[in-house]
Amino acid sequence: MNSRRSFLTKSAIASALAVSSLSSFGEGLETALERTPLSSAPSDLKITDIKCGFIRGGHSLFVKIHTNQGIWGCGEGVDATPGTYYLVKLMAERIKGKSPLNVNRLFEDIRKSGFFEGAQAGMFIAVLSAVETALWDLTGKALGLPVYQLLGGKYRDKIRVYCDTGTYRDTDKSTDHFAQSASEAVKMGFNAVKYDIDERNDPNKYDLYNWTASPGELERMYNQIASVRKAVGPKVDICVDMHGKYDVTTGKRVAKMMEPLNLMFLEEPIPAENVEAYKLISESTSTPICAGENHYLAYGFRKLLEIGAVDIIMPDLQKAGGLGEGQRIANLANLYYVPFAPHMVASYLGAMASSHVCASIPNFLILEWQIYFHEDPMFKEIVTFDGPMVKDGFIPLSEKPGIGVEINEAGMKKYAPKDVPFFV
């Protein structure tokens, strides 16, 4: 069969060249070349290099995986990424010359070879998340399929998001300001909003190291979120984040006092490390408790789910292990009937990459969306994409091969940290 196919292929090429000779030779050759595929079979695809760049002081890492066929893949890691240029290069050396299509195998090759280099969490996994994501993007482009299709297909065509309103950056902490920002988000089409209530500079704090909130802090927290509920009405979801800065006592009190406000969830009232302490809070309230942005790999979510420590999990797919690992975490949570609501503080590349995972699993609840996409021009300059970023509170899922969003190196360059290698 192979010999017959080869004979027919050669005959077809010879016929094409014969026809081309009827016109001018140069034009015929150009036409023949244009019709000849530039890339060989996917099985011949090999990784040649990984290059990377950083923005936001190094807290956002972007990688490009290059191949021998001119196809590349893009990925992003966040938070635990400053100073990781040489870690990217270390991972590159371990997968150069290999086929990028074996995404799960390459993920395991890198992770297991880094067993004594910190491959359980932190920077190693955040960088690996960017590399793994780029491998999915590359595979989708090579095979002509969107990433969600590679992950087994989709349950939904658009991804619901909540808008992190960014009031944590504002000096105005009044209830009027909170209410106004909530109303503006709803006017933009969002049907869910998020607010941070941990305030380091709150004058009601007794000191900067005591994790127990004072009565004045508790009053301020409640009033801020009550003003949001009044502004948006009963049908808009409200999420509240405490950034892991309090103790169990405060976590219980805040969760209890927020019950009349019907939150979608209360996020990380205490630090991530002690999952048993989370269970104490969850059992004390009807307010759903959410955690996971500071957990890594599916292993990091096992005990959270086994003991019922939280009601909702929120892995950050740009640092928890990537897209395949994100789907594994979601499927693990689904065994316990726990919703999946990923944390997302990346660029639109990371948002769309996360969306492919959210589309591919049944227990998706909601994805984080940042107001900076609308306010900071950097986030439109550093990527290229088709269509609107978000529409009526949903991300339209890309149908393009791969993730559907590309890195714009030229746009990113002006935001790159000084003296850090940039895509070399």
Q: DSSP of 161-210, one letter per residue?
A: EEEE--GGG-S---HHHHHHHHHHHHHTT-SEEEEE---TT-TT-S-SS-
Task: For residue range 67-94, list pLDDT tens digits in order.
Answer: 999 999 999 999 999 999 999 999 999 9
Measured CA to CA, the distance from residue 199 to residue 197 in angstroms comes to 6
Task: For residue range 393-423, list pLDDT tens digits in order.
Answer: 999 999 999 999 999 999 999 999 999 999 9
Task: For residue range 115-164, list pLDDT tens digits in order.
Answer: 999 999 999 999 999 999 999 999 999 999 999 999 999 999 999 999 99
More confident residue, 23 or 273: 273
Query: Residue 208 has what pLDDT?
Result: 86
Statement: residue 1 has pLDDT above 70? no
CATH hierarchy code of domain 149-400: 3.20.20.120
Statement: residue 204 has pLDDT above 80? yes
Measured CA to CA, the distance from residue 81 to residue 198 in angstroms comes to 24
Statement: residue 24 has pLDDT above 90? no
Using the CB atoms, write b or e for 256-276: b if 16+ within 10 Å: ebbeebebbbbbbbbbbeebe
DSSP one-letter code for 398: P
Statement: residue 43 has pLDDT above 90? no
Nearest to 315 by CA among 276, 272, 269: 272
For the CA atoms of the chain, what is the radius of gyration? 24
CB atoms within 10 A of CB 119: 17
What's the mean pLDDT when you consider all of the chain?
92
Q: What's the pTM value of the predicted model, to 2 decimals?
A: 0.89
Nearest to 163 by CA among 140, 139, 184: 184
Token reading at 75: 């990925």
Task: For residue range 215-236, list pLDDT tens digits in order.
Answer: 999 999 999 999 999 999 999 9
Beta carbons of 128 and 110 less than 8 angstroms apart: yes
Query: Residue 170 has what pLDDT?
Result: 86
Query: Residue 40 has what pLDDT?
Result: 53
Q: What is the mean pLDDT of residues 247-266?
A: 98
Query: Residue 300 has what pLDDT?
Result: 97
CB atoms within 10 A of CB 278: 27
Model confidence band, residue 35 (pLDDT cutoffs 50, 70, 90): very low
CATH topology of domain 43-145: Enolase-like; domain 1 (3.30.390)
* Domain spans, the chain: 43-145, 149-400
